[in-house]
Chain A
Amino acid sequence: MTGLTARVELDRGGFRLDATIDAAPGRITAILGPNGSGKTTLISAIAGLTAIDGGRITIDGVVVDDPDAGAFLPPDERRVGVVFQDYLLFPHLTVRDNVEFGPRSRRDVTGRAGAGEWMERLGVATLASRYPRDLSGGQAQRVAMARALATDPSVLLLDEPLAALDASTRLEVRRELRSHLGGFAGVTLLVTHDPLDALVLADDVVILEGGRVTQRGATDDVARRPGTPYVATLMGANLLHAVADSGVARTEDGVSVAIPDRSLAGEIVIVLRPEAISLHRRHPEGSPRNVWPVVVRELEPRLDRILVHVSGPPDLAVAVTPAAVADLDISPGTQLWASAKALDLDAYARTS
C-alpha cells in the first residue's frame, strides 16, 4: 500500500492530539487549522521527531511508529522530507552542500545527481556556492524545498512554507510552489493556517481544530460546504446550524430560514456568503423571504468593500460597497434589515 496512513494520538501536558490522516501519493493534502491546533506536533510525529503515545503511522506500507507493537523508526530511517517553517538551512554549509547533505548522509551517489536536478528545477542552481545568510526569503524557501526533495522522500512535509515570507514574496512563491511540486511523485502534506494556501495549492484538505480533525475532503468541497464556524469564517462565509423541514429551517437561536431544497430534513448547515446578503433601512418589499432585523456591530474595511458585522439573530457578516455604507448611513448601533434570497444560500445535510 502506498501513501501515508497516520493515526496519531499524543498527550502533551493538557493538550491532546488525536487525528487520522490518510494521504495518497501525487496529491497535495493541506492540514489547515488555527494556531495551537496541533499541526506542528502532527508533523513532528510523522517525521519521527516525536514518538506517538497511541495509534500507528505507516509510510508506503512500512510501519514507522506503533507503540502497541513497540515499533519505532527514527527520523533518519524514514523516507520523510521536511521543509521547516524557518527552513533551518545549515548556516555553515553552502547551498549545494545543504542540498547534497541528504544524499551524502545516505551515501547515495545517484542521489547527488538528483540533488543537482532539483536545484535546477527549483531555480537555485546559480546560487550553489552561496551561504544561507546571503539568500532572500524566497530563495531560502526554494533551497529548503530542494534539500528535502533531494532525499527522494515518500512523504514531503511542508510546515507553513510561506509564513516566513513577506507579503509580496508569498504571492510569488505560492504561485510557483504548485509547479515545483509537480515533479514530486510522493505524498505532500502542507501545514498552514492560511486558507489561501490550501485553496491554491492543495487537492485535499484536512481541518484540524483543538487537536481533532473536524472536517476533511476535496478542497473545493470543503470550501463550498464548511462544516464548522472556523472553516466558514476562513472561507469568508456565514454558517448557520439549523433543523430543516420541508423548505424551512429553524436555527439554534430560533431564526427561521427559507431554503431552496425542500427535500432536506433534519440537521442541516446553511452557508450564507457575505455578498449574498443585502442590508436595508426599511423592511424590503418583494421576493426575499429571509428578512431579519439586525443591529450593526462593527465595520471592517476590506480591499474593495466593507464587511459589516451585524448582530441578529442571526449574527452575520455582510459585504457592501463603501457607497452603500454612505447611502444607508451605517455606523455601529444602526438598526437595519438584512435579507437573503433562498436561492442565494447553500444548505446541505450535516455530516460530521
Chain B
Amino acid sequence: MNRAAAAARQPWYIAVPGVVAVAFLALPLLGLLGQAPWGGMWELLTSEEVLVALRLSLTTSLAATAVAVLLGIPLAVLMTRSRAFGGGWVRALVTLPLILPPVVGGVALLAAFGRRGLAGQVLFEGFGIQIPFTTVAVVIAEAFVAMPFLVITVEGALRSSDRRFEQAAATLGARRWTVFRRITLPLIGPSIAAGAVLCWARALGEFGATLTFAGSFPGITRTMPLAVYAALDVDRSQAIALSVVLLLVSVLILVGLRGRFLTGLRR
C-alpha cells in the first residue's frame, strides 16, 4: 500500500458501518434484478393489463407535473417576491406534503374533495361532480404529493438569481411580462427542468395517497405502483417485472439529473 492510500485509510468504526449501509441499500435492488423473470419479461410487460397501467401512469404523472408547473412556478415567484407569501407558514405548507405520510395525504384529500368534503360537497351538490375514485383524483393525489419538489427547487433558484438582470431588462423598455418571459424564466430554466423531473418522478411513484383517495380500479386509477401491489397477490413475477421497469425509470432520471439532483434542492 502506498503512503497516500495509507493516509486515506479509514478507521473500522467508520468503514464497517459504511460498508454495511452500502450493502443494505444495494441488496434489495440486487434481489429484484436477480428474481426478475428475464426470459418472459417482454411478454409480461406487453400484456394488456400492464400496458393499461403504464399508459395511465404516464398520462396522470405528466398531467400532475403540468399542474405543478403551471401553479408551482407562480407560487415560487410569490414566495420570493411578495411579502405576504414570503412568510414561514407558506413554506411550511409547501414542504408538508414531502414529510406527510402519503396515506394521510389521501385521507386529507378525501376530507377536502370527498362527497361530504369541504369542497367536494359543493362540487357534488352544485354540479353533480364527484372526484374520488376517478382518474382526476389520481392526478390530484399525485400533484398534491409531488408539487413541493418543483416549488422548492424553483424557489431556491429564484432566490439565488440576480434580480438586477430584471432591472436591466426594465431599463431597456421591457414590460413585466416580457421581463418574466425573456429574463426571469430562462435564467432559472435549468432549475425548472430539474424540479419538473423530480416532481414527475415522485408523481410516477405515488402510491399511498392515490390508493386512499382514488382506489385501485384497472384502467381508471390503477397506476403502475398500484398494479405492482395488486400483482403481488396474483402473479409475483409480474410484480417483479413491473418493479424492474420502475427501477429503470428511476435510474434514468438519476443519470439525467446527475449533479442537479441534489444541488437543485439544496440551493
Chain A contact residues, CB within 8 Å of chain B: 47-49, 74-76, 78, 80-82, 84, 88, 90-92, 101-102, 105-106, 147-148, 151
Partner of B169, one of A47, A74, A105: A105
A90 pairs with B171, CB closer than 8 A: no
Asked whether any CB of chain A lies closer than 8 Å to the CB of B257, the reply is no
Q: How far is the CA of A208 from the CA of B127 in the complex (A)?
A: 68
Tell me, in angstroms, the Cα distance from A111 to B100 when the chains sit together: 55
* 9 closest residue pairs by CB, A with B: A102-B172, A105-B174, A75-B170, A88-B168, A106-B173, A82-B171, A92-B186, A75-B171, A105-B173
Find out whether the CB atom of B171 lies under 8 angstroms from the CB atom of A80.
Answer: yes
Chain B positions within 8 Å of A, measured between CB atoms, are: 162, 164-165, 167-175, 178, 182-183, 186-187, 189
Would A91 and B187 count as touching, CB distance under 8 A? yes
CB distance from A45 to the nearest CB of B (A): 13
Across the interface, do A101 and B182 meet the contact criterion of CB distance under 8 Å?
yes
Residues of B within 8 A of A80 (CB): 171
Inter-chain CA distance A80–B168, complex, in Å, is 11
The CA-CA distance from A91 to B182 in the complex, in Å, is 12
Q: Are A76 and B183 in contact (CB under 8 A)?
A: no
Known contacts: A84-B164, A101-B182, A105-B178. The answer to whether A92 contacts B187 by CB under 8 A is yes
Besides A76-B172, A92-B189, A105-B178, 9 other CB < 8 A contacts? A76-B170, A80-B171, A82-B168, A84-B168, A88-B168, A90-B168, A105-B173, A105-B182, A151-B173
Chain B contact residues: helix, strand, loop or mixed: helix
CA distance A88 to B182 in the complex (A): 14
Chain B residues, CB < 8 A from A91: 187
| Among A74, A84, A92, A147, contact of B170 (Cβ-Cβ < 8 Å) | A74
Q: Are B164 and A147 in contact (CB under 8 A)?
A: no
A101 in contact with B171 given A92-B186, A92-B189 (CB within 8 Å): no
CA distance A293 to B173 in the complex (A): 62
Closest to A106 in B: B173
User: Distance in Å from the Cβ of B172 to the closest Cβ of chain A?
Assistant: 4
A74 CB contacts on chain B under 8 angstroms: 170
Known: A91-B187, A92-B186, A92-B189. A101 touches B172 (CB 8 A): yes
Cα A84 to Cα B175 in complex, Å, equals 19
Asked if B189 contacts A88 (CB within 8 A), the reply is no
Q: Contacts of B175 on A, CB cut-off 8 Å?
A: 76, 105
What A residues does B171 contact at CB under 8 A? Answer: 47-49, 75-76, 78, 80-82, 148
A88 surroundings in chain B (CB, below 8 A): 162, 164-165, 167-168
Point out the residues of chain A lying under 8 angstroms from B174, CB to CB.
76, 101-102, 105
Question: Which of these, A47, A76, A90, A148, contacts B165 with CB under 8 Å?
Answer: A90
User: In the docked arrangement, what's the CA distance between A147 and B189, Å?
Assistant: 23
Which residues of the other chain, B, contact A151 by a CB distance below 8 angstroms? 172-173
**By the criterion CB–CB under 8 Å, are A90 and B169 in contact?**
yes
Least distance between A212 CB and chain B CB atoms (Å): 26
Q: In whole Å, how far is A200's beta carbon from the nearest beta carbon of chain B?
A: 26
B65 to chain A, nearest CB (A): 23
Bound Cα distance from A230 to B169, whole angstroms: 36
Interfacial chain A residues near B186, Cβ < 8 Å: 92
Please, how many angstroms separate the alpha-carbon atoms of A264 and B238 in the complex? 106
B177 CB to nearest A CB, Å = 10
A106 partner residues in chain B, CB cutoff 8 A: 173
Query: Using Cβ atoms and an 8 Å threshold, which residues of chain A touch B167?
Result: 49, 75, 88
A197 to B36: give the CA distance in the assembly, Å: 74
- Which residues in A have their C-beta under 8 angstroms from that of B170? 48-49, 74-76
**A109: shortest Cβ distance to chain B, in Å?**
14
How many Å from the CB of A100 to the closest CB on chain B? Answer: 10
Determine how close the nearest CB of chain A comes to the CB of B163; give it in whole angstroms.
10
Can you identify 7 A-B contacts, CB atoms within 8 angstroms?
Answer: A49-B167, A76-B171, A82-B171, A84-B168, A90-B183, A101-B182, A105-B175
Bound form: Cα–Cα A48–B162 in Å: 18
Across the interface, which residues of A come within 8 angstroms of B168, CB to CB? 82, 84, 88, 90
CB distance from A74 to the nearest CB of B (A): 7
